[in-house]
Chains A and B, each alone.
Chain A
Amino acid sequence: MVDLSKLYSMNRLYYVLLAIGGLSVLGGAYAVFMMEHHGHIISGMNNQIVWGMPHVFAIFLIVAASGVLNVASIGSVFGKAVYKARAPLASLLSLAMLAGGLAVLMLDLGRPDRIIVAATNYNPTSVFAWNVVLYSGMFSLVIVYLWTMMERRMNPFNKAAGLAVFIWRFVLTTGTGLIFAFLTARQAYGSALLPPMFIVLSFAWGLAVFHVVQKVIYAWNEKALDPAILQRTKNLLGVFIVGSLYMVATYHFTNMYFAQQKGFELFILRDGGIYPNLFWWGYVVFGNVLPLLLIYFPGLGKTKCVMVASMLVVLGAFALLYVFIIGGQAYPLNIFPGYEVSSTFADGQIASYTPSIYEFLLGFGGLAIAFLITTVSVRVLNFMPQDKPYISD
């Protein structure tokens, strides 16, 4: 006989999850209303730190949204069956995180009510304007891609759609990296290394998010993931972590070689208080070294280890983005090279920043949007990976 009580409790849990997600979205909406009403004065942002906590959340979500599609691409473009079975879930996660990230980015604007202006007045030299096209294009493409996977009659177009998504997301993450790469005057940014760095980071962050969600979905359906599959994807995560660590290290090494960048590097890596702490402890140790140990250390690397490793990678991502975005602005802009400067506008001073509760509410609101889209979709549609009884590749 079917045990109905279990079904009921699962049902209840689903609505509890919806309520938690819904409340978080409401919290975000409240923050937006407050910032609209009072202005950004209630945020921690100011004229020196112009992009703050909401941007950390938004950029994480957008970069991870692109990276999670790696799972789909390995399936659709490179024909690996294990990954192909996971392509629908990866696409869903991509849509969900893109929606969450874009919502945060748009609602943090000084005039979110004018968002339509971004579509009617288009500046072709602005990377932001390019990204308007890249993000909306990505959204539509992934929907089409999902359609080719979930509708049998559309299956023949799956390969083409997969290839299009594969190319598009590279361009998209390049666009995200370029937002910073084009800032020539700022010591922290203005490097051609940033777009490839963001691409490699996206691989690790996307796969980490995928691991966590996949584990939850398997648990929800009372299934156990085939250890052989976990073995493959966890090794891939390990490679991505090493790759992203390499890119970040290269970025800092090249900077340190330039005498003019030395002050900035010392600030970020040694003297900057919270920033070097977050960088070394948050990003390097907890976000990379520990996950690598959990994945590769003999005797470890089991399901739980991979889960913890994935969650640590996500935490490390937030630490790195905080250092990159906020630390990058906190270090004073070098307007007069070779001079000591002071003014009423914080010239020559390390800018201070304390994120306010509204920024966190907005950021978590974005996460909650992604969470809600995923939870509802997984419940109403079949996103459970369907593995074949054997692994063909």
Chain B
Amino acid sequence: MSDIDTQRRQFLKTSAGAAAIAIAPGMMLYQTAHGDTAEASSKVRWGMLIDTAQCKEGCNDCVTACNKENGLSGKTGTTDSQWIRKIEIKDISNGHTVSLPMMCQHCEHPPCVDVCPTNASFKRADGIVLVDRHLCIGCRYCMMACPYKARSFVHETLEDQNPDVPRGKGTVEACSLCVHRIDKGQIPACAEACQNKAILFGDLNDANSEIHKKVRSVATVQIRADLQLNPGVRYQGL
């Protein structure tokens, strides 16, 4: 082998090594950032069953947990984001009062997704309705279309964001069912925080899941069922 050949071989080896060293951390960071890249399965339909009999008037634990988890300020001014809120309802005919949490109902046929001009509002295969913050142009048409007033518009610059839950001024946002937790095998923050176990989270399609069994055995309602949106969040005791 000639001297030049040896030198060339040496050069190629060194270059390949240097390239590997240069790329490796990037690849690792990419993996860390993207986590488990397994796609959401359409066999799953994530949902919630809210037992209003267990939901206490004046208790705000789910709201507080949501704010903490998603980095919301917790303020309730007209321009502040509220992903989940407690609603007190009173039956006009008999005065019966009920307290319940209201958030994105993760409809099977979400009007927000239908009206979004840029596909920023979308429904994941497992039924979670989300907003792609990179595509949202801030037209607020989804807010007009949502029958549950579940969405908020970010009116001002945000600080102290949760890295798992990126948000952005000028875009629309709503309950994500704590998708970042679900993808790690955890349950949404509100369901975890509820001391009375009023919020049952699970896969509506899984015949062995508690939520599936419960929905089959007790009377539940979907809010504004007349609109036939088939929300993934159901209520018991209404």
Assembly CA distance A221 to B152 (angstroms): 53
Task: Establish whether residues A335 and B147, one from each chain, have CB atoms under 8 Å apart when the complex forms.
Answer: yes
List the A side residues contacting B115 at CB < 8 Å.
Answer: 125-128, 182
Assembly CA distance A50 to B111 (angstroms): 16
Assembly CA distance A128 to B111 (angstroms): 13
With known contacts A121-B118, A184-B111, A343–B87 Cβ distance under 8 A: yes
Contact residues of B between 49 and 77, Cβ < 8 Å to A: 76
A-B contact list, 24 entries, CB within 8 Å: A39-B157, A40-B170, A50-B140, A50-B153, A110-B170, A114-B135, A117-B137, A118-B137, A121-B119, A126-B115, A179-B141, A182-B145, A183-B144, A185-B146, A185-B147, A185-B224, A335-B147, A339-B89, A339-B91, A341-B90, A343-B86, A345-B85, A347-B102, A352-B78
Contact residues of A between 82 and 140, Cβ < 8 Å to B: 109-112, 114-115, 117-118, 121-123, 125-129, 132
- How many residue-residue contacts, CB under 8 A, span A and B? 166
14 further A-B contacts with Cβ under 8 Å, apart from A345-B76, A346-B78, A352-B78, are A38-B156, A46-B78, A111-B137, A112-B137, A117-B135, A123-B116, A183-B144, A336-B89, A338-B93, A339-B92, A340-B89, A343-B102, A344-B85, A344-B86
Assembly CA distance A337 to B175 (angstroms): 23
Assembly CA distance A339 to B221 (angstroms): 15
Q: Say which residue of A47, A114, A115, A125 sits within 8 Å of B143 (CB atoms).
A: A47
Q: Chain B's nearest CB lies how many Å from the CB of A48?
A: 6
- Per-residue CB contact flags for chain B residues 122-144 toward chain A (1 = under 8 Å, else 0) read 00000000000001111111011
Q: Chain B's nearest CB lies how many Å from the CB of A344?
A: 4
Task: Establish whether residues B170 and A109, one from each chain, have CB atoms under 8 Å apart when the complex forms.
Answer: yes
With known contacts A126-B116, A126-B117, A335-B148, A111–B170 Cβ distance under 8 A: yes
Determine whether A186 belongs to the interface, using a CB cutoff of 8 Å to chain B. yes
List the B side residues contacting A38 at CB < 8 Å.
Answer: 156-157
Task: Establish whether residues A109 and B137, one from each chain, have CB atoms under 8 Å apart when the complex forms.
Answer: yes
Task: Establish whether residues B92 and A110, one from each chain, have CB atoms under 8 Å apart when the complex forms.
Answer: no
With known contacts A46-B79, A335-B223, A347–B87 Cβ distance under 8 A: yes
Assembly CA distance A123 to B117 (angstroms): 5
Q: Say which residue of B76, B78, B111 sits within 8 Å of A48 (CB atoms).
A: B78
Determine whether B180 belongs to the interface, using a CB cutoff of 8 Å to chain A. no
Contact residues of B between 172 and 214, Cβ < 8 Å to A: 172
Determine whether A342 belongs to the interface, using a CB cutoff of 8 Å to chain B. yes
Q: Say which residue of A50, A132, A344 sits within 8 Å of B144 (CB atoms).
A: A50
Determine whether A170 belongs to the interface, using a CB cutoff of 8 Å to chain B. no
Contact residues of A between 323 and 367, Cβ < 8 Å to B: 329, 333, 335-336, 338-347, 351-352
List the B side residues contacting A179 at CB < 8 Å.
Answer: 141
List the B side residues contacting A343 at CB < 8 Å.
Answer: 85-88, 102
Determine whether A51 belongs to the interface, using a CB cutoff of 8 Å to chain B. yes
Task: Establish whether residues B144 and A51, one from each chain, have CB atoms under 8 Å apart when the complex forms.
Answer: yes
Contact residues of A between 32 and 87, Cβ < 8 Å to B: 38-41, 46-48, 50-51
Determine whether B169 belongs to the interface, using a CB cutoff of 8 Å to chain A. yes
Assembly CA distance A112 to B113 (angstroms): 20
Q: Chain A's nearest CB lies how many Å from the CB of B113?
A: 8
With known contacts A114-B137, A185-B146, A40–B116 Cβ distance under 8 A: no
Q: Chain A's nearest CB lies how many Å from the CB of B207?
A: 31
Assembly CA distance A336 to B146 (angstroms): 14
Q: Say which residue of A47, A184, A352 sits within 8 Å of B152 (CB atoms).
A: A47
Assembly CA distance A48 to B93 (angstroms): 28
List the A side residues contacting B88 at CB < 8 Å.
Answer: 341-343
With known contacts A41-B156, A48-B78, A340-B92, A110–B140 Cβ distance under 8 A: yes
Task: Establish whether residues B149 and A118, one from each chain, have CB atoms under 8 Å apart when the complex forms.
Answer: no
Q: Chain B's nearest CB lies how many Å from the CB of A115?
A: 7
B138 closest partner in A (C-beta): A110
Q: Chain B's nearest CB lies how many Å from the CB of A173?
A: 18
List the A side residues contacting B117 at CB < 8 Å.
Answer: 118, 122-123, 126, 128-129, 132
Which B residues fall within an 8 A CB radius of A? 76, 78-82, 85-93, 102, 111, 113-120, 135-141, 143-149, 152-157, 168-172, 223-224, 227
Assembly CA distance A339 to B96 (angstroms): 9
List the A side residues contacting B171 at CB < 8 Å.
Answer: 110-111
Assembly CA distance A183 to B140 (angstroms): 13
List the B side residues contacting A344 at CB < 8 Å.
Answer: 76, 82, 85-86
Most buried by A among B82, B118, B147: B118
Task: Establish whether residues B87 and A341, one from each chain, have CB atoms under 8 Å apart when the complex forms.
Answer: yes
Q: Chain A's nearest CB lies how many Å from the CB of B99?
A: 10
Q: Chain A's nearest CB lies how many Å from the CB of B97?
A: 9
Q: Chain A's nearest CB lies how many Å from the CB of B155?
A: 4
Assembly CA distance A112 to B171 (angstroms): 11
Assembly CA distance A338 to B221 (angstroms): 15
List the A side residues contacting B135 at CB < 8 Å.
Answer: 114, 117, 121
Which 5 pairs from chain A and chain B are nearest by CB?
A110-B138, A110-B170, A185-B147, A128-B117, A46-B78
Q: Chain A's nearest CB lies how many Å from the CB of B134?
A: 8
List the B side residues contacting A117 at CB < 8 Å.
Answer: 118, 120, 135, 137
Assembly CA distance A128 to B112 (angstroms): 12
List the B side residues contacting A122 at CB < 8 Å.
Answer: 117-119
Assembly CA distance A339 to B171 (angstroms): 32
Task: Establish whether residues A110 and B147, one from each chain, have CB atoms under 8 Å apart when the complex forms.
Answer: no
List the B side residues contacting A48 at CB < 8 Å.
Answer: 78, 149
Task: Establish whether residues A46 and B118, one from each chain, have CB atoms under 8 Å apart when the complex forms.
Answer: no
